[in-house]
Amino acid sequence: MRLNRRAEHNAGEMKRPTSDRQCVESIHLAEGTVNQRQLVTLASRVMSLYMILWALDSLSYIPIDAFVLSHYKELGFQSYSFKYNLVLVIRHLIWSAFLFAGAVWTYRCSPFIQSFLSPDDSATS
């Protein structure tokens, strides 16, 4: 009896994929099959989340930079330390803005992002 159950179980198994495309096409979830378009969308959303977290990390430096900037303001606006810390504050703000813009761009999953994350097989061969 046990051998019959095992044979039935093995008969119901899927064949192993032999190529990357078959591997992508054979991924299954509880609701059904996930196609390549959905995987590309998921990858772009993960990249977008990473960029948002990176931007928030960059923004977390602004309070200490602003505090240091206020300290060096007493030395004069022409001092090296004041200018350096002013550049740091501006750099963190600009970098965070670029990261947020990049996160929005990758979240939308434009055709450029789709072709970047999932190039055609004909282009590689």
Compute the C-alpha angle 47/20/41, nearest 5°. 30
Per-residue pLDDT tens digits for 65-112:
999 998 888 887 788 888 999 999 999 999 999 999 999 999 998 888
pLDDT value at 1 more than 50:
no
Query: pTM to 2 decimals?
Result: 0.65
Q: 10: which 2 tokens?
A: 């093995």
Q: Which of 38, 16, 58 is nearest to 50 (CA)?
A: 58
In 28-79, alpha helices (H): 36-59, 62-73
Residue 54's pLDDT is: 96
Cα separation, 23 vs 87, in Å, equals 48
Per-residue pLDDT tens digits for 7-56:
455 555 555 556 555 555 555 555 567 788 888 899 999 999 999 999 99
Helix (H, G, I), strand (E, B) or coil at 16: coil
CB-facing half-sphere around the CA of 3: CA atoms within 13 A: 0
Which residues neighbour 89 within 8 Å (Cβ) at sequence distance 6 or greater?
Answer: 62, 65, 66, 69
Residue 2 pLDDT class (50, 70, 90 cuts) = very low
